[in-house]
Structure 1
Amino acid sequence: MAASAVASAMPEDITASSYVGFDSITQQIEHKLLKRGFQFNVMVVGQTGLGKSTLVNTLFASHLIDSKGRTEVDIAPRATTEIHNQAHTIVENGVRLKLNIIDTPGYGDMINNEGCWEPIIKYIKDQHSAYLRKELTAMRDRFIPDTRIHCCVFFINPTGHSLKPIDIVVLKKLAEVVNVVPVIAKADSLTIEERLAFKERIMAELQYQQIRLYPFDAEELDEQEIQLNERIREMLPFAVVGSERTVLIDGKPVRGRKNRWGVINVEDERHCEFVYLRNFLTRTHLQDLIETTAQIHYETFRSKQLLALKESSAKAQAASNA
């Protein structure tokens, strides 16, 4: 049985005596990964009312999270510290994705917004800290559960002007610890000309403030991957529209928003850039987001923590010898 399986895996143009078979390692890796499944943790950050929950549900074509915004006058605003993590498992063509959605309350909603971003930054660092503790355990798990944030989708209010000072502060803090992907929320409220001008002003502001956004270029990238990253950077921030509703266009059901002047088709590239965002997050850079989190953001955190631990141990040793 095993011999026949090996024979069937052998390319037809290679004889049995010359075929080694190590080219099947990719199939072996794929088989193990499919059994284990994949973990992806995405955080949404932005002011209340920008459609964070709706966009996430649109991205994954499922109703995964409910809106946490205020809909009644007698409902008190949520505290900034209320960060909710919702876990889901979605399956597509035999690939199982364990998805963690970290929903943050709208920052900047209070009268006093001093330090309103701190719970968000703390949550991200806490996940790195939890992973490091498990990694340093003597009898650690074979596969450490990964709760590190792989992507932070940052929602920008479609004012058409520029970023608010609080947006700049939050973006600076986030970019130091997580992969940040900015989007202009509810982009259908802007004309095409307003949208282009708004995007140019935002990117000019980010460059001036030296805020480094994802994706990053690395030495191991080939020319095609570098060109893809360059095209994505030219498109940032993505001007998007989210919708879970189905409307009919020429008798065909599509996800969109209907108004007095027609229908905004979420998946029409002429209407918004949702398709580009979805392709970027799920079809071309999903694995890179996971790897970049581990190799850049987590490694930076890990080295700082271990160096601090080493210094404190040295000081304690010196004090004991004194």
Structure 2
Amino acid sequence: MLTCSVYPAYFALLNTCVCFLFQDDDEYVGFSSLPEQVHRKAVKRGFDFTLMVVGETGLGKSTLVSSLFLNPDLYKDRKLSGAEERVKKTVDIEKKAMDIEEKGVKLRLTIVDTPGFNDAIVGEQNWRTVEEYIQQQFEQYFKDETGLNRKNIKDQRVHCCLYFLSPLAHGLRQTDIQFMKRLHDKVNIVPIIAKADTLTPSEIRRLKNRVLEEIEKHGIRTYDFPECDSDEDEEFKQQDKELKAATPFAVIGSNTLIEVSGKRVRGRLYPWGVVEVENPQHCDFSKLRQFLISTHMQDLKDVTRDVHYENYRARHIKEQLNRQSRERTKLKRDSTPNIEAVQEQDMLLEQKEQEINRMKEMLAKMQAQLETKTAHMNGAH
């Protein structure tokens, strides 16, 4: 896969090579320029990406996101809650949008944060708020794509969820298991071991192995790295192999610039030395950024569109059909006469008719008797 920065050069080179191969061919048509046309339109339109970060307070989510996208002011207006407030607080959804441009390529990035996660006493609230938000974005996209105006649909679907794990835990906690199992079929979950500078390298390796074992044990489906194509170069294959081996990423975030050996780097200063955020020997920050932005951003979007959204769309359409079927059945039932009631009514009508006939017979007899009596009286006179 290619980074945004190499797209222009790649497509220009591809078009040049193809044109060179066919310039002397009488049957050359010119459709080899299609990749360049697609690239030009895509760059003009720009790209969208929505990243969700989930984890309990104090794991450095905001700092990591600010470090990833080199924006230290992203959360400058946030107010931290006290311990008592956090216990009573429910999970909030906080969105931050930013436009990034790199070498002519524009990216509209939306960061969805979840302050208050795992702070409340009621654990169910943790995943429910996040699940509802993800569902709402699917619903809105479905509504837009089935509407009359489909020209400027905004894709607010969550393409990736960075789930932060505590470095103090010895694996997955019940909250972690519950959250990931509830949402693994709705969003690409990428587990992150936060604050890796609190662990030794051997402790990080043990924690990573334990997390992977428990993910498999509980049937949790995290983001699945796609297999490399056979025609990929060896350098990319090796790069992809290293990214897979690094999961779950153990990261450190910092917006502080520290001078190390005459060079200013982002890191954390301790009495025993400096932890460099972008040093692969110190943590997986660089690998996470490479995975998230340079190599797998488009695949995360593709999986969201082709798997998670399609699953939602199929469920939604099925629910609509079932609901319509139930409504038609109810309408038919309401409009169909009640046979027992009709039969009872017919019986009553028949009884009344029989009673009327008996009364008619009685009246006829009385009339005949009256006429006979009148005739006798007239004969006697």
Structure 1 length-normalised TM: 0.90
Aligned residue in 1 for 2:139: 129
Structure 1: gaps of 5 or more residues: 1-5
Q: Quick one: distance in 2 between partners of 1:74 and 1:200?
A: 33
Counterpart secondary structure, 1:11: helix
Measured in 1, the distance between the counterparts of 2:316 and 2:150 equals 21
1:276 aligns to 2:326 (yes or no): no
2:101 aligned with 1:91: yes
> What is the alpha-carbon distance in structure 2 between the residues aligned to residue 265 and residue 189 of structure 1?
13
Amino acid at match of 2:64: L
- State the match for 1:114 in structure 2: 124
Moved more, 163-172 or 111-120: 111-120
| Other structure's SS at 2:153 match | coil
Whether contact under 8 Å (1:53, 1:67) holds in the other structure is no
Q: Structure 1 residues 145, 70: CA separation in 2 closer, same or farther (over 3 Å shift)?
A: closer
Is structure 2 residue 258 aligned with structure 1 residue 258? no
* CA displacement 1:167-190 (0-9 Å, x = unmatched): 110111121210011110000100
Q: 1:200 to 1:179 in 2, by over 3 A?
A: same
After superposition, what is the alpha-carbon deviation per residue over 1:115-172, rounded to whole angstroms, capped at 9, x for unaligned?
32210111011100110111111x1221310000000000000015111111110111
How many residues are matched? 316
The corresponding residue for 1:187 is: 196
Which one of 28, 32, 35 corresponds to residue 23 of structure 1? 32
1:247-284 CA distance string (max 9 Å, x none)? 11111111111111111111111000111111101111
Residues 184 and 222, structure 2, Cα contact 8 Å, conserved in 1: yes
User: Structure 2 CA distance, aligned partners of 1:190 and 1:196?
Assistant: 10
Match of 1:117, SS state, is helix
Letter in structure 2 aligned against 1:288: D
2:89 to 70, 79, 90: 79
Q: Name stretches of at least 5 consecutive residues in structure 2 with no aligned partner.
A: 1-14, 334-381
Contact in 2 for aligned 1:160/1:194 (Cα 8 Å): no
> What is the Cα deviation at residue 12 of structure 1?
7.3
Given that 1:57 and 1:244 are in contact with CA atoms closer than 8 Å, whether structure 2 keeps it comes out as yes
Q: 1:249 and 2:260 equivalent?
A: yes
Distance 1:187 1:123, change over 3 A: same
- Structure 2 length as normaliser, TM-score? 0.76
CA contact (8 A) 1:68 1:105 kept: no
Distance 1:72 1:144, change over 3 A: closer
Matched, 1:145 2:154: yes
Alignment-derived partner of residue 324 in structure 2: 313
1:114 and 1:312 mapped to 2: Cα distance? 28
1:315 deviates by 1.8
Q: 1:63 to 1:297 in 2, by over 3 A?
A: same
- After TM superposition, the structure 1 stretch with the greater mean CA deviation from structure 2, 167-176 or 300-309, is 167-176
Distance 2:229 2:149 in 1: 30
- Of 225-234 and 163-172, the range deviating more from structure 2: 225-234
Alpha-carbon distance in structure 2 between the residues aligned to 1:110 and 1:82: 11
8 Å CA contact 2:50–2:109 kept in 1: the answer is yes
Which amino acid in 2 is paired with 1:274? Answer: F
Equivalent AA in structure 1 for residue 99 of structure 2: T
CA apart distance, 1:19: 2.7
More helix by share: 2
Q: Tell me the distance in 2 between the aligned counterparts of 1:313 and 1:182.
A: 40
* Partner residue, 2:112: 102
| Contact 1:45/1:103 (<8 A) preserved | yes
Q: What is the alpha-carbon distance in structure 1 between the residues aligned to residue 272 and residue 78 of structure 2? A: 27
In the alignment, the residues of structure 2 paired with residue 36 and residue 79 of structure 1 have an alpha-carbon distance, to the nearest angstrom, of 40
Q: Which range moved further: 64-73 or 165-174?
A: 64-73
